[in-house]
Amino acid sequence: MLKTLIRRELLDNLMTFRFAAVLLITLLLVVANTAVLIQDYEQRLESYNDAVKMHQQDLRNSKTYSTAHLFVDRAPNPLSIFNVGLDKRLGNLIGIYHGFMPTLWDAQMHGTDNPFIAFFSSIDIVFVFEVILSLMGLIFAYDAIAGERERGTLRLVLAQPIGRGQILLAKYISAMACLLVPLILSLLFALLLLTRSMPLSTADFLRIAGIVLTSFAYLSLFYLIGLLISVATRRTGTALMLAMFIWGLLILVYPNLIRATVNPGGDIQARVKTAHNQIQQILDEYERERQKFLEKEGIAEEMSEFSKALGFYHQADVDPVTLTTYIESISVLSEIRPDFEKYIPVAKRYYNFVEPLATRTVEKAWRIRKQALDEIYVKQATTDRILLKLSPVGIYDAATQAWAGTDLSGLRDFFDASRRYRKIIIDYLYAKDAFASREWFVADKGTVDWRTLPQFTFQRSDVGINAKRALPDLFLLLLINLIFFTIIFLIFVRSEV
């Protein structure tokens, strides 16, 4: 019996004009946007490759350790086509050196493109789904029960020996089967375009599968919202109006309304100020130890002479807004004048003392900065995201971002890797005894050999980790689905025809 019902519903749904229209428009929008997105991705990839090449060239041109330009670049994420998240917005270029802790708040853009283009909002596949799938779900559901009630066929169906739950289930299954067609078909087209222009790994396909699964849960939720309206109303006209207004509210209005009404909480200025003072103290302590060393070596008095000999440039500072802490001491000179040759042993000792000290100081400051950054930037963003999750769009967006690896954690993975790379570089410098070498500050007797320098590699996080980040939201979606279905069932069972 259930089978007969499903077949009837399926035929009813498939043969309608709305199905054809929805299918057509979904295909059109997804394919058109995918083509644009792929082009955009390729451009970003090209700009990334150029940047990597340029930075390698820069490094090879650096003759001494202290003037080395070591930069790492973040490659664009191919899955940003599905959900761009923070992939395009945050910086993708960061400097690596021992006197500085790289974070995403210090990153810059290597892109050479026109920043005014940021003026136009960019669209990804998930955004297309957000709008279209939700509308599809509601359009297919609003008259499912109310329509039959109006036409009087509901009475007929209920006269048969079938449970009311079965009727609901049949409607749900057949409608979902129908609605999946545009979703799957448009995704297939998108994948066809994707695989033609970029290689996707197995892991990427698994991530895409996760996105599809989440899209499915999202679609189902909107169908159930529509069904709930349909069960609860007497007339299709009313059901339709309610459905449309709820759609507008959830998709268009709420995500923008909530951000406009919520004030950034807490006194951020004060928090920045305390952290700034703490870091400044650490830097002051560093400066004192440096001065102590200079006095001990007996060059404190002839400092100007000493810095002239070394072409010395020294700076230790903390940014009052982003709390970026850096200690820089560079020797800008091509050769040592013969009468300054006497400073060489002192200079070697100086760098050998100061640079490890700078490394330690920055690491100490980092512990303070990390906490402060979390409180200043991350906490606010997390609250915003949680508030957004009151609309299914927020949950869907968060989950797909996690799958694609373009969410905040995914981006932070890269900067964690860059901090690990900094550690590796420091170890390498120690192993080479670079701080105490002549090549640290001058290249007149042999330049630095950069060929043995460890290379930076960054692998996007494992699918398992993506799944771990996405599953809570996915389960939340499924749970809401279940709750809605139960409510619909309860209302339908008690309703009079």
Partner 1 sequence: MIWHITRRELYDNLNSLRFALTTMLLLALMLTNAIGHLREHPKRMQKYNDAVSESMTRMASHTDDSLYKLAQEGPGKLYKKPSSLYFCAAGGDPVLPDTIEGGSPFGYSEHLRGVWKLKYPDANINMKRVGPDVTKLDWAFVIGYVLSLIALLFTFDAISGERERGTLRLMFANSVPRHIVLIGKFLGALISVSIPFTLAVLINLLLISTSNAVHLNTEAWGRLGIIFLIALLYMCLFLALGLLVSARAQRSAVSLVILLLIWITVVVFMPSTLASIASEFSPPMSSEPFWKRRNQIQEELWQKYSRWVWSGKVDKETLTGKSEFFIQDAEAEERLNQERLTEKVAQVQHARAITRISPATLLQHLLESFAGTGFERHLQFVENTHRYARQFREFVADTDRSDPESLHIIGVREGMTKKKILPEAVPKFEDTLSLSKDFNTRATELLLLVLFVMVLLSGSYLAFVRVEV
Write out the residues near partner 1 by the rule CB under 8 A: 17-18, 21-22, 25, 28-29, 32-33, 36, 39-40, 86, 89-91, 104-105, 107-109, 112-123, 128, 131-132, 135, 139, 143, 236-238, 240-242, 244-245, 248-249, 252-253, 255-257, 259-261, 322, 377-378, 380-381, 384-385, 388, 394, 397, 408, 411
Looking at residue 249, the DSSP 8-state letter turns out to be: I
120 or 196: CB nearest partner 1: 120
**Minimum distance, C-beta of residue 43 to partner 1, in the bound complex (Å):** 8
Q: 331 has which bridge partners? A: 312
How far apart CA 217 and CA 222 sit, in angstroms, is 9
What ranges in 314-343 are assigned the alpha helix state H? none
CA distance 197 to 200: 10
What is the spatial distance between Cα 214 and Cα 231, in angstroms, rounded to a whole number?
25
Work out how close the CB of 251 gets to partner 1 at its nearest, in angstroms, rounded to a whole number: 9
Q: How far is the CB of 281 from partner 1 (least distance, A)?
A: 24
Please report, as a single letter, which amino acid is at residue 110: H
**Rounded Cα distance, 426 and 416, in Å:** 16
Sort residue 337 into left (φ over 0), alpha (ψ -120 to 50) or beta: beta
Q: How many CB atoms lie within 10 A of CB 331?
A: 22
Q: Compute the distance between CA of residue 369 and CA of residue 343 in angstroms, rounded to an integer.
A: 37
Residue closer to partner 1, measured from CB, 10 or 246: 246
Question: In the chain, what's the furthest Cα-to-Cα distance?
Answer: 109
Pairing of strands 71-73, 93-95: antiparallel
Quote the least distance from Cβ 75 to partner 1, whole Å.
17
Min dist. Cβ of residue 299 to partner 1 (A): 25
Nearest to partner 1 of 249, 479 (CB atom): 249
CA pair distance 33, 27, nearest whole angstrom: 10
Closest approach, Cβ 369 to partner 1, in A, equals: 14
Choice between 183 and 242, CB closer to partner 1: 242
Which residue number, 239 or 282, has a Cβ lying nearer to partner 1?
239
H/E stretch holding 470 reads helix 463-494
CA angle at 295 for the pair 290 and 298, rounded to the nearest 5°:
130
Closer CB to partner 1, residue 261 or residue 455?
261
Helix then strand then coil, % of the chain, to nearest 5:
70, 5, 25
Nearer residue to partner 1 within complex by CB, 99 or 394: 394
Complex with partner 1: residue 454 or 472, whichever CB lies closer: 472
- What is the C-alpha to C-alpha distance for residues 359 and 100, in angstroms, rounded to an integer? 8
User: What is the identity of the amino acid at 193?
Assistant: L
Residue 38's H or E segment, with its range, is: helix 17-61
Q: With respect to partner 1, which residue has the nearer C-beta, 35 or 497?
A: 35
Comparing CB distances to partner 1, the nearer of 43 and 277 is 43
Closest separation between CB of residue 448 and partner 1, Å? 26
**8 Å CB contact between 175 and 13:** yes
Query: What's CA 259's distance to the chain center, in Å?
Result: 19
Give the shortest CB-33-to-partner 1 separation in angstroms. 6
